[in-house]
Chains A and B, each alone.
Chain A
Amino acid sequence: MSLLDYTLRIADSSLISAQRLSEWCSKGPTLEEDIAISNISLDLFGQANGFLEYVSELDGNKTVDDFAFKRNEREFFNFKITEQPNGHFGDTIVKLFLTSAFNFLFYTKLSGSKNEKLSALAAKSLKEVKYHLKHSRSWMVRLGDGTEESNKKIQESLNSLWQFTGEFFEMDKVDTEISKSGLGVNNLSIKEDWNKIINTTLSESKLIRPKDGYMQTGSKRGIHTEHLGHLLSEMQYLPRAYPDAKW
């Protein structure tokens, strides 16, 4: 069931990013940005839903809601960066920028998948992700090349989140099998382009690219940071407290 595992990882990263970003709703720095971030969150929920529908179809037994609401931390396979707390606005922008740059390149490749479902879901997600990248990239420049204070803050965000970028380019057995059969993406093949996007943006933003030091790993095996459990307890509270509750 490599295909199921592969698709579930994509779905989980979208779902957890979406849930995190939704925490900004009503707390954005301006009304306009509040709506912008909530829109991005909704895009990501939509993407998660699409990929989870396919997971549920492959599984043949569990529903989309089962997958979203009835799994524990160790059964989630999202990139660790997606579960990190929002922090201040600059932290959120750095997180969104680093992941959107990856998502943009990943979905560009995945839209050429031999698997029709995956390629269609990727093509649809790609349009949205392009905007996420554009929006977060412009904020990187605005904050990085803004005031001394904003530059300092966003540089700190970048330094502390950098350790989570190694996971983007990990390839385990599932990834290798799926990419070799032409269904998925060889993540190593997009690393150079990812570096280009990052480097160009950072130099435009007057930010310094952190050195690759210790890199976090483990999410492909369901190992997470302490933040995921808290996120899930909030996200899953209602369906767990009131099983089969309907709108």
Chain B
Amino acid sequence: MEDSTEVWEVFIQSKNGLAHKHVGNVHATDKELALQNARDLYTRRNEGSCIWVVKSKYIVSSESEDGEAFFDPSNDKMYRHPTFYNMPDGAKHI
């Protein structure tokens, strides 16, 4: 028998308004089962209010050999961080 099982990446939103966070993956034969498996594996202890599943093969990832070209140039550009402003005393949580 042909095995049509694929790997799906699972993203859970813990509360309305927050971003979905990657939590792991599951095996499933179709999108319905992928959602149910994700629910059973990753939300047993009240972790979420919404689940996304995406076939792993559709995730496009940067390659580790591109690491230098991708990420090193931002190392010495401190001015990209908003750390040069004086904060008014009253402003919190910034």
Which positions in A face B, CB cutoff 8 Å?
30-33, 35-36, 39, 134-135, 138, 142, 147, 149
Contacts and interface: CB of A to CB of B under 8 A. Distances in A.
A138 B32 contact: yes
A60 B2 CA distance: 58
- Interface of A, helix, strand, loop or mixed by DSSP: helix
A138 B33 contact: yes
A35 B41 contact: yes
Q: Which of B27, B33, B40 has the most CB of A within 10 A?
A: B40
A149 B2 CA distance: 12
Given A39-B44, A147-B1, A149-B1, A31 B36 contact: no
Contacts of A39: 40, 44
Contacts of A147: 1
Contact of A32 (B1, B37, B44): B37
A244 B37 CA distance: 38
B29 interface: yes
A142 B27 contact: no
Interface in B7-63: 26-30, 32-33, 36-37, 40-41, 44
B44 A135 contact: no
Given A32-B26, A32-B27, A32-B40, 11 more contacts: A30-B5, A32-B28, A32-B33, A32-B37, A35-B37, A36-B36, A36-B40, A39-B44, A134-B36, A138-B33, A147-B1
A135 B27 contact: no
A35 B28 CA distance: 13
Contacts of A36: 36-37, 40
A219 B81 CA distance: 72
A142 B1 contact: no
A165 B52 CA distance: 37
A147 B44 CA distance: 32
25 contacts: A30-B27, A31-B27, A32-B26, A32-B27, A32-B28, A32-B33, A32-B40, A32-B41, A33-B37, A35-B40, A35-B41, A36-B36, A36-B40, A39-B40, A39-B44, A134-B36, A135-B36, A138-B32, A138-B33, A138-B36, A142-B29, A142-B30, A142-B33, A147-B1, A149-B1
